[in-house]
Amino acid sequence: MIRRAVVRWSGKEGTPRRLQVSQQLGRLDVKFSPYLFVSPFFVLFALVGLFPLVYTGWVSVHDWDLIGGEGNWVGISNFVFILQQRQFWIALRNTLSIFLLSAIPQLIVAIAIAAVLDTNLRNKTFWRMSVLLPFIVMPVAVALIFGSMFGERYGLVNTTLAQIGIGPILWHTDPLASQVAIATMVNFRWTGYNALILLAGMQAIPRDLYESAAIDGAGRLRRFFSITIPQLRPTMIFVIITATIGGLQIFDEPRLYDQIGLGGADQQWMTMTIYLYKLGWTQLNFGRAASVAWLLFLVIVVIGLANLAITRRIASSEST
C-alpha cells in the first residue's frame, strides 16, 4: 500500500510541519506504552488492595451487621469504642510480642542456615530443598498438630519434658508460653523460606572479598561477621519488612491453637486478626471489626515507616 506522504518541505532547510501517521503512532507508543505495561499491577492493586481498604473504611463508620448489612452512620464511634476496650490493647500487645518472638529467632537461624548452605556441601540441591519442606506444609495442619503437641496435660512436649525433669509448662494458660508455642509454629514455617532468600543474597557477594580477607588472615567467623552480614543488608531489609507485614497479621496459627479459636480464655494469644474475627464473625458486628482492621493497618504503616527510617540510617552510615 502506498502511504500518502504528508511531509512537506519548505525551502532548503526542511521543517517538517506534520508527521506521518506511523511516526505519530510511534511517538505515542514511546510516550504511553510504559504506562500500559505497568498498568496491570495498578489495576490489580486497585481491585484487591485499594478498593478493599476504602470499603473497609466505609464499613467502619457505619453500624454494620455481618449478614444484615449496612446500618446507620456512626462516625468514629466504632473506633472510640474499640480504643476503650481492654481486649484491643491486649491483642495489640500479643501481636507485637508474637511478632518479636517469631521474627528475631527466625532471622538469626535463617542467616545461620543460609551460611551453612552457602558452603561446599555435597548434594547441595537436596539440602536446599529440604530446608523449604516445612513451608509447603499447610499452616492449618501445622497449627492443629502443634496445638495438640503443646497440650498441657497430655501433649507430647510436656510428656517429653517431664522425662527430663522439667515441670509441666502451661502452654495454653500462660501468655508467654502460649506465644512462644505460636511463634514456634511461625518459625517452623518461615525459617527455611527466609534462609533461601538470604542464601540468594549471600551468593551475590563477590567471592574475591572473602579471598582477600582470607589472605589478610581473617578466620571463618570473622569473615562471616565482617563481610557476609554487612553485604547482606539489602536482603535483610527485604526479609525484615516482609516478616513484619506478615507477622503482624498472623491468623491461622492462633486460630487453630485451641478448639475454640478465639485466643484463649484470658486472651493469652489473641492477636489483632483474631480480635477482628471475634468482633466480625462471632458477634456479627462488622462495623467494629472493620475499625480494628483499619487500626491494624495504621499500626503496620507506623511500624513500616519506623523500619524504613532505621534501615535508611543504617544504610547511609554504611555508604560513608
Partner 1 sequence: MNRFRRASSILGATIAATLVIAGCASGSTSTTDNTPITLTLATFNKFGYSDAMLAQYHTLHPNVTVVQNIAATSQAAQDNMFTKLAAGSGLGDVEAVEVDWMPKLKQYSNLFVDLTTSDTKSRWLDWKSASATVNGKLIGAGTDIGPEAICYRSEPFVKAGLAGDPAGVATLLTGDWNNYYSVGQQFAAKKTGVAWFDSAGATFQGLANQYQNFFEQNDGTVIATTNPDVKAAFTSVLNASATSSAHLQEWSTDWNAGMANGAWATMLCPSWMLGVISGNGPKITDWKIANVFPNGGGNWGGSYLTVPTQGKHTAAAKELALWLTAPEQQIAAFVTTGNYPSQVKAYTDPALTGAMNPYFNNAPIGQIFAARAQAVKVTPYKGVKYAAIMQAVQDGLTRVESKKQTIDASWAQVVSDIKALS
Helix, strand, coil % (nearest 5) of the chain?
A: 70, 0, 30
What is the closest distance, in whole angstroms, from the C-beta atom of residue 165 to partner 1 in the complex? 21
Q: Three-state DSSP class for 69?
A: strand
* CB atoms inside a 10 Å sphere around CB 157: 19
Task: Report the half-sphere exposure of 273 (CA within 13 A, side-chain side).
Answer: 16
Quick one: 31 or 153, whose CB is closer to partner 1? 153
Q: Which is nearer to partner 1, 82 or 236 (CB)?
A: 82
CB of 253: closest distance to partner 1 in angstroms?
15
- Residue number, 69 or 219, with CB nearest to partner 1: 69
Least Å from the CB of residue 166 to partner 1? 18
Vertex 140 angle, CA 271 and 142, to 5°: 95
Rank residues 63 and 118 by Cβ distance to partner 1 and give the closer one.
63
Residue with C-alpha cell 476504602?
A: 54
Contact 235, 194 (CB under 8 A): no
Phi then psi for residue 84, to 5 deg, are -95, -5
Contact 6, 20 (CB under 8 A): yes
At 191 the three-state DSSP class reads: helix
Q: In the bound complex, what is the minimum distance in angstroms from residue 188's beta carbon to partner 1? A: 18
Least separation in angstroms between CB 149 and partner 1: 9
* Closest CB to partner 1 among residues 115, 256: 256
Q: Compute CA 121 distance to the chain's CA centroid, rounded to the nearest angstrom.
A: 30
Nearest distance in Å: CB 192, partner 1: 27
Toward partner 1, which CB reaches closer, 41 or 154? Answer: 154
- The nearer residue to partner 1, 189 or 288, going by C-beta atoms, is 288
The rounded distance, in Å, linking the Cα atoms of 271 and 256 is 13
Can you tell me the distance from the alpha carbon of 144 to that of 304, in angstroms, rounded to the nearest whole number? 31
Considering the complex, what minimum distance in angstroms separates the CB of residue 28 from partner 1?
31
Q: Cβ atoms within 10 A of the Cβ of 115, count?
A: 18
- Name the site residues for partner 1 (rule: CB under 8 A): 66-68, 85-87, 147-148, 151-155, 170, 172-173, 258-262, 265-266, 281-284
Determine if residue 95 is left, alpha or beta; phi over 0 gives left, psi from -120 to 50 gives alpha, anything else beta.
alpha
